[in-house]
Amino acid sequence: MKISAVIITFNEEERLPAALDSLRGVADEIVVVDSYSTDRTTELARQARATVYQNRFEDYGQQKNFALQKAGHDWILNLDADERVSPELKNAILELKAKQPPGGVAAFAIKRKTFYLGRWIRHSGWYPDKKIRLFRKNASVWLGRIHERLQVSGDIAPLSGEILHFSYRDIGDHIRRLNRYSSFLGEEIISQKKKCLLLRLLILPPVTFFRHYVWRLGFLDGFPGLVIATISSWGTAMKYFKAISSKRSPQGRQN
């Protein structure tokens, strides 16, 4: 069982080296697909003996599917630049490589743990946050422009260990990224022709706050849990604000 580790990047010179280092001894090759970074991302990737490709970014699903095409091995380990393979996960993958995956299993789901505002988040809907990240290349395809998901043909088994996620540098970074994502999501709302957008705008943000802070026990995460619930609620509002604004624009009315 040989594994191609695949990472997509854009201006990740600060975080990419740690991600690449965590793959040492696990991946038989590392493929980095970069969307024309202006920093040292590609230089650092090549120094770590990764194979680097440049591809214009359209959306996350498209970029990750492009990366799959460049991978040379049947099994893919997908990692983001802000993620690390934990020691426990590394051992689990090495054991898997030694004995081969069970027949019929096309992918493995792995828990992801996020470090945010100085602590590991254990609730808030952010944990265990299982992700399918180890999978057969010929049995999988990425779907979705943002918050992409992997569609797998075959059985999915759990794998011990965790992906360590260092997502947002601070609250400002969190807000900026959600603002960017909300633009994609607003476009999806329009394309899906969802109805009652104003009603959704009024109801769904407080529901989002309740889901993260109460139902998913965000209050147990302390101040970071409150921030997560608040910004998530704001992000929900923003995507509907943008959808309504787009629909009321002259171009939106023509569509």
pLDDT at 96: 94
161, 92 Cβ separation under 8 angstroms: yes
Q: Tell me, what's the pLDDT at 27?
A: 97
Nearest CA-CA partner of 156 in 171, 172, 169, 140: 140
Q: Does the pLDDT at position 217 exceed 70?
A: yes
Per domain, the residue ranges of the chain are 3-165, 171-254
Is the confidence at residue 177, as pLDDT, over 80?
yes
Beta pairing, strands 140-143 & 155-165: unpaired
Give the pLDDT confidence score for residue 100 in this predicted structure.
84
Rounded mean pLDDT of 123-151? Answer: 93
Q: Which two tokens stand for residue 164?
A: 């360590």
**3-165 topology per CATH:** Spore Coat Polysaccharide Biosynthesis Protein SpsA; Chain A (3.90.550)
Confidence of residue 250 (pLDDT cuts 50, 70, 90): low
**pLDDT of residue 254 exceeding 60:** no
* pLDDT exceeds 70 at position 251: no
The Cα 123–Cα 134 span in angstroms is 24
- Mean pLDDT score across all residues of the chain: 95
pTM here is 0.90
- Report the percent of the chain where pLDDT is more than 90: 89
Query: How much of the chain, in percent, has pLDDT values that exceed 70?
Result: 98
Q: How confident is the model at residue 253 (pLDDT cuts 50, 70, 90)?
A: low
Using one digit for the tens of pLDDT, what is the confidence trace for 13-60? Answer: 999 999 999 999 999 999 999 999 999 999 999 999 999 999 999 999
User: 144: pLDDT confidence band, cut at 50, 70 and 90?
Assistant: confident
